[in-house]
């Protein structure tokens, strides 16, 4: 993370979406400057760089227009540095399959964590926990098919889906602890449990994983700014 680098990343270290970009930069040895954002008081630079969503991450690359949305950013990084640690498979159908599952993870699976946070009432919370567990089983099947018996979704090394789901792991552990249940477990999702251990010890993610304290702080900010539902 060097100052005056050609690439600047607007972000906050607790964001799994920002962590994805950091993870891919590490995999590809892309130097960048991290510009920390306070989401409770967004900078002018963030608001003008991402006027549609006003969210992090945003990637600023030299004089190019800003790139927003984590999945778009990591695909951009793949395009500007395709030769170092490619994260996509080469076959178009496999690339499409990767994008399909990323869409599922972002739009169906992970939003359940937030739904669980804002939902009140024991019974309703239990029902959402069940939905999360069902989602984890769907992901186990996706892992089995996509990894083809290898260590990662990407095969022998970390690929696109490993980055996408891997960066949700710190939040997964936090949500498990907070709600006293297991999302990935040895009986229902044995392959993913093995995978989580591998991802967690991967060199390129180690400096990126937010600590539990950082996540707790962010969670408290969410509780303050996005209160609980009815």
Ligand X SMILES: N[C@@H](CCC(=O)N[C@@H](CS)C(=O)NCC(=O)O)C(=O)O
Site residues (vs ligand X, CB under 6 A): 15, 17, 39, 54-57, 69-71
The nearer residue to ligand X, 54 or 81, going by C-beta atoms, is 54
Q: Nearest distance from residue 99's CB to ligand X, in Å?
A: 13
Q: Which residue is nearest to ligand X (CB)?
A: 55
Q: Nearest distance from residue 57's CB to ligand X, in Å?
A: 6
User: CA 119 to CA 44: how far, in whole Å?
Assistant: 33
User: CA 130 to CA 108: how far, in whole Å?
Assistant: 14
The nearer residue to ligand X, 17 or 109, going by C-beta atoms, is 17
Q: Nearest distance from residue 192's CB to ligand X, in Å?
A: 21
The nearer residue to ligand X, 17 or 153, going by C-beta atoms, is 17
Number of H helices, E strands in the chain: 11, 4
Q: Nearest distance from residue 9's CB to ligand X, in Å?
A: 12
Q: Are 200 and 193 in contact (CB under 8 A)?
A: no
User: CA 46 to CA 75: how far, in whole Å?
Assistant: 21
**Tokens 């979704």 map to which residue?**
153
User: CA 26 to CA 33: how far, in whole Å?
Assistant: 12
The nearer residue to ligand X, 124 or 173, going by C-beta atoms, is 173
């Amino acid at each position: 993370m060097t100052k005056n680098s050609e690439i600047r990343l607007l972000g906050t270290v607790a964001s799994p979406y920002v962590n994805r970009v950091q993870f891919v930069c590490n995999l590809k040895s892309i130097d960048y400057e991290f510009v920390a954002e306070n989401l409770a008081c967004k900078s002018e630079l963030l608001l003008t760089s991402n006027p549609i969503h006003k969210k992090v991450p945003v990637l600023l690359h030299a004089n190019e227009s800003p790139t927003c949305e984590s999945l778009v950013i990591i695909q951009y990084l793949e395009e500007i540095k395709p030769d170092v640690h490619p994260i996509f498979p080469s076959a178009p159908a496999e690339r499409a399959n990767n994008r399909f599952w990323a869409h599922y993870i972002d739009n169906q699976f992970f939003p359940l964590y937030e739904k669980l946070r804002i939902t009140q009432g024991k019974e309703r919370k239990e029902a959402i926990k069940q939905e999360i567990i069902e989602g984890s089983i769907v992901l186990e099947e996706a892992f089995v098919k996509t990894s083809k018996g290898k260590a990662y979704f990407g095969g022998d090394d970390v690929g696109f889906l490993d980055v996408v789901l891997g960066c949700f792991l710190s939040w997964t552990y936090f949500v498990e602890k907070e709600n006293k249940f297991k999302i990935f477990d040895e009986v229902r999702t044995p392959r993913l449990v093995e995978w989580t251990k591998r991802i967690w010890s991967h060199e390129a993610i180690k400096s990126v994983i937010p600590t539990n304290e950082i996540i707790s702080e962010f969670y408290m900010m969410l509780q303050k700014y996005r209160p609980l539902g009815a």
